[in-house]
């Protein structure tokens, strides 16, 4: 098998430092950082991170925190990434649970099973699972999917923001090579909500995993 | 009706089209690799496009993946651009993995045919294309 590119010692040290800082500041371990640093270099990783934060913040003003995380999750999902799709679904599920006490119909631990469906089956499954309470989230996921797959042309500010998010996660899912087999139970929520361990405990209990 | 074969591959001087189907293990992948070498080792470097349809591929085991990445790495200098088309997220992940591990910036994964011709006619690498789209411009097709 072709060997994956070997990371330099400096890249590894830089990644380790950045992962530690993120763990402390955000509460989760960005295991993808090594490959992202290798791919973009330290300076561009910083710029990428700032652009991602700006895009996510702008999307949140239109879609809310939970739906934004679900849209990002599915942007990574459609690339076949097992890590970001689970981690951002988990983050969106926690946002929704914190705001409403409600469980999102898609458990983050079921996401990888859904990746085996073809897109038509997947969208039909989401349409069935996401009822009236989550209709807007479903429509936003479909909007992102149609933009991503050229089934829809960008016309609105939200379309443009979604395309930027799609591009950002197209870059980050280049690290798929190190994350081929992921146990969803080991993936942290991939936002600052990861610091709220009490919320996570309550959420897991509500899912029957307490 | 008999089952369709696990792959077809055919082409001309400009484009080779492959279709992957069913469940692949190492032996299927090795058979495909031999057929792909037959098709692609003639012609000059960077001469042809490769278009792979993986819509009907249901499983590709870890040894088959190794064969496919080795093959793509070997054939990459002979290819101008490569497109993988897969209708499931799981198989798009596999195709991205092949492109990434074989260090082929000129390979890109799509969910359908839309945007494919634009990508094949373009010049930007996959990651540069994503960088440009991230900053707001779109010109090489979406993924």
pLDDT at B135: 84
Q: Give the pLDDT confidence score for residue A107 in this predicted structure.
A: 98
pLDDT band at B98; cut points 50, 70, 90: very high
Set of chain B residues whose Cβ sits within 8 Å of the Cβ of A116: 88, 90
CA distance B134 to A44: 13
Task: Name the interface residues of B facing A (CB cutoff 8 Å).
Answer: 55, 65-66, 69-70, 73, 87-97, 100-103, 109-112, 114-115, 127, 130-136, 138, 141-143
Beta carbons of A84 and A169 less than 8 angstroms apart? yes
Q: In chain A, what residues touch B69 (CB-CB under 8 Å)?
A: 1-2
Which residue bears the tokens 């890590």?
A83
Residue B1 has pLDDT above 90, yes or no: no
Mutation site, A5, A45, A163, A167, interface B, largest B CB count within 10 A: A167
Tens of pLDDT along B101-119? 999 999 999 999 999 999 9
Query: How wide is the angle at C-alpha B76 spanned by C-alphas B73 and A75, nearest 5°?
Result: 80
- Average pLDDT over chain B, rounded to whole? 92
- At residue A2, the pLDDT reads 38
With CB atoms and an 8 Å threshold, state whether A167 touches B134. Answer: yes
CA angle A199, A201, A203 (to 5 degrees): 70
Please list, in sequence order, all residues whose beta carbon lies within 8 angstroms of the beta carbon of residue B2, skipping any fewer than 6 positions away: none
Q: Are B23 and B58 in contact (CB under 8 A)?
A: yes
Contacts of A3 (CB under 8 A, 6+ apart): none
| Mutant choice from A170, A173, A176, A182 vs B, greatest count of B C-beta within 10 A | A170
What confidence score (pLDDT) does residue A38 get? 82
Of B140 and B104, which is predicted with more confidence? B104
Cross-chain residue pair B114–A151, CB shorter than 8 Å: yes
**Are B133 and A166 within 8 A, CB to CB?**
yes
Distance CA A202, CA A206 (A): 6
- The pLDDT tens digits for B116-137 are 999 999 999 999 999 999 887 6
Tell me which of A46, A50, A150, A151 to substitute to probe the interface with B (most B C-beta atoms closer than 10 Å).
A150
Residue with tokens 């495909």: B32
Question: Alpha carbon A19 to chain centroid distance?
Answer: 17
Overall pTM > 0.80: yes
CA-to-CA distance for B22 and B54, rounded, in angstroms? 9
Q: Where are the alpha helices (DSSP H) in A105-181?
A: 111-114, 119-129, 135-148, 157-172
ipTM for this model:
0.90
pLDDT digits (tens, 9 = 90+) for A148-182: 999 999 999 999 999 999 999 999 998 866 656 78
Measured in angstroms, the CA of B135 and the nearest CA of chain A are apart by 7
Q: Are B112 and A78 in contact (CB under 8 A)?
A: no
Q: Is the dihedral of CA A47, A48, A49, A52 positive or negative?
A: positive
What is the structure's pLDDT at A9?
80
pLDDT of chain A, 210 residues: tens digit per residue:
333 456 678 777 878 888 898 899 999 988 888 888 888 887 888 888 899 999 999 999 999 999 999 999 999 999 999 999 999 999 999 999 999 999 999 999 999 999 999 999 999 999 999 989 999 999 999 999 999 999 999 999 999 999 999 999 999 998 866 656 789 999 999 999 999 999 999 999 999 997
CB contact under 8 A, B93 and A81: yes
Q: Is the pLDDT of residue B77 over 80?
A: yes
pLDDT value for A174: 87
Residue B140 has pLDDT above 90, yes or no: no
pLDDT-derived band at B2 (thresholds 50, 70, 90) equals: low
């Amino acid at each position: 098998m072709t060997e994956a590119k070997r990371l330099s010692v400096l890249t590894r040290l830089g990644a380790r430092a950045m992962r530690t800082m993120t763990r402390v500041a955000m509460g989760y371990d960005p295991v993808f950082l090594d490959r992202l640093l290798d791919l973009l270099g330290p300076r561009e990783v910083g710029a990428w991170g700032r652009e991602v934060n700006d895009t996510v913040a702008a999307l949140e003003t239109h879609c809310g925190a939970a739906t934004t995380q679900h849209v990002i999750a599915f942007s990574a999902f459609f690339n076949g990434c097992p890590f970001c799709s689970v981690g951002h679904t988990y983050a969106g599920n926690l946002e929704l649970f914190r705001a409403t006490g409600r469980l999102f119909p898609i458990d983050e631990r079921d996401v990888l099973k859904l990746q085996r469906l073809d897109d038509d089956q997947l969208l039909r499954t989401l349409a069935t699972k996401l009822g009236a309470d989550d209709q807007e989230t479903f429509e936003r996921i479909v909007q992102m999917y149609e933009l991503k797959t050229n089934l829809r042309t960008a016309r609105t500010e939200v379309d443009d923001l979604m395309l930027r998010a799609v591009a950002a996660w197209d870059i980050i899912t280049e690290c798929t090579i190190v994350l081929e087999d992921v146990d969803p139970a080991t993936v942290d929520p991939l936002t600052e909500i990861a610091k709220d361990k009490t919320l996570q405990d309550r959420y897991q209990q509500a899912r029957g995993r307490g | 009706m008999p089952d369709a074969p696990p792959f077809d591959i055919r082409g001309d001087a400009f484009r080779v089209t492959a279709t992957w189907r069913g469940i692949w293990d190492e032996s299927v992948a090795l058979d495909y690799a031999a057929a792909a070498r037959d098709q692609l080792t003639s012609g000059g470097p960077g001469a042809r496009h490769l278009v792979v349809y993986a819509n009907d591929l249901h499983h590709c085991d870890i040894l088959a993946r190794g064969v496919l990445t080795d093959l793509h790495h070997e054939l990459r200098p002979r290819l101008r651009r490569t497109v993988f088309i897969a209708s499931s997220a799981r198989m798009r992940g596999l195709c991205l993995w092949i492109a990434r591990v074989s260090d082929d910036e000129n390979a890109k994964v799509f969910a359908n045919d839309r945007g494919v011709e634009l990508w094949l006619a373009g010049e930007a690498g996959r990651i540069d294309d994503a960088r440009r789209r991230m900053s707001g411009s779109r010109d090489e097709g979406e993924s």
